[in-house]
Structure 1
C-alpha cells in the first residue's frame, strides 16, 4: 500500500514508551473488568426490582466508560493510579478486601 493511502500516514511518532503502552493496556483491561462487574450488579438489582440501585450502578458504569475514553498512554501517572483504583474496586466488589 502506498504511504499516501495508509491510515497511519498522519499519526506521527508516539509520545510514550512501549512500557507505557503496556501499562495503558493493563489499565484499560482493569476498566473493562470494573464495567463488567458493575453489569453483573446491575443485573442483580434489576432482578429484585431495585430501580434506584440500577440507576446508581448504571451511572457508575457510564463514569468508568468515560474514564476509559479519557485515559491516555502518555499520562503514566494517571494510568498507574487508575490501575490501582481498578484493582482496589474489583477486590471490594468481589468481597476480597
Structure 2
C-alpha cells in the first residue's frame, strides 16, 4: 500500500492549455449537446410509441442523436469556433422544438 502513495499521476498531466473562459464555453457547449441528445430521446420515445410504422423515423432519429454525441466527443476546448458553432446549432435545434411545441 505504501508503494501506491508514491505514484504521482496528476503532476504528469501538466497544466491545462485553455483559459477559464474557454473552459466555461466548452462546458456550456457540452450541456447543449446533452440537451440535444435529450431532445432526440424524447422524439425517439414518441416514435416508438407510434409503433412499427415509425421504424425508419426511429433509425434516423437515433443516427442524429449519435451524431450529436460524436460532436461532443470530438470537441476541443481550444477550438472556440467549433464550440461556438455547436452552441448555435443546439440553440437552433432546441428553439425549433419550442416553436413547434404549440402546434
Name the TM-score, length of structure 2 as normaliser.
Answer: 0.85
Question: Cα deviation per residue 1:29-87 (whole Å; 9 max; x = unaligned)?
Answer: 00000000100000000000211110000000000001110001111111011111111
Of the candidates 65, 70, 93, which is equivalent to residue 69 of structure 2? 65
Cα RMSD (Å) of the superposition? 1.7
Indicate the residue corresponding to 2:15 in structure 1. Answer: 13
Of the candidates 38, 46, 50, which is equivalent to residue 48 of structure 1? 50
Q: Rg bigger for which structure?
A: 2
Gaps of 5+ in 2: none
Gaps of 5+ in 1: none
The count of aligned residue pairs is 95
Name the TM-score, length of structure 1 as normaliser.
Answer: 0.89
